[in-house]
Structure 1
């Protein structure tokens, strides 16, 4: 999640903030799939790449790759819904336009995946 938050922050958007109406935005995970290929050596430098594979009305899917030393250590697919924490529960909400813009900047075509 830290990489995803860093991606939003780097793009100028702060997720999980309290809104003027008292609700708080959130990005709960609704699906997660991870595959491990290899283990890095102790103290190895690892690169975390994030690309967007799907953008919906209220949700999106990202692909994470962890690479280094010429190989891939792990890949994962992470689907999240945009939600508001209101009255003690979660309610899905449309993706804000600034978030859509940030996601589109990292969107890859199916042929690129």
Structure 2
């Protein structure tokens, strides 16, 4: 299925007093990596694909990570993101983070394709066939 690589240089503000990345920041990196992967798959920026597909977003409904090696200020990490499953209205993403070529983190997400209802709330919607096709491709 579709995959993408995002590189992130760790900034001073990403780190905790121990000098390593404060773990919630990885989830911010993962959110950006998922958006970058979908932008690559759809060949357009997130603000454009939100409008193009008429969706409210892709909220996360499940996530988790296994932290193997820490990263520090100045390190450059590589986040390899890949679609690992497609549901009716959801999709699964795996993130593998590498630092200096070594696996540092394994993480997963499950996200849902949502639209706005007439009441202003959000509800899940089936993945469009063109989206399903793009995310099923091997890059």
What is the rounded CA distance, in whole Å, between the counterparts of 2:127 and 2:46 in structure 1? 11
Can you give the 5+ residue segments of structure 2 that lack an aligned partner in the other structure? 1-30
Range that drifts further, 46-55 or 91-100: 91-100
Q: For residues 29 and 106 of structure 1, what CA distance do their matches in structure 2 show?
A: 23
Q: Which residue of 2 aligns with 1:98?
A: 130
1:5 partnered with 2:35: yes
Q: Could you report, residue by residue, the CA deviation over 1:55-89 in whole angstroms, capped at 9, with x for unpaired residues? A: 11111101001102131121111001111022221
Aligned length: 105
CA distance in 2 between partners of 1:104 and 1:19 (Å): 19
Answer whether contact 1:61 1:77 (CA < 8 A) is retained. Answer: yes
Give the TM-score of the pair, scaled to structure 2.
0.65
Pick the structure with more strand per residue: 1
**CA deviation map 1:11-67 (0-9, x unaligned):** 2155562469xx643101111111111112431111010112111111110100110
Structure ranking higher in helix proportion:
2
The unaligned stretches of length 5 or more in structure 1 are 108-113
Q: Secondary structure at the match of 2:134?
A: helix
Moved more, 96-105 or 64-73: 96-105
After TM superposition, what 4+ stretches of structure 1 lie above 3 angstroms from structure 2? Answer: 13-16
RMSD: 2.3
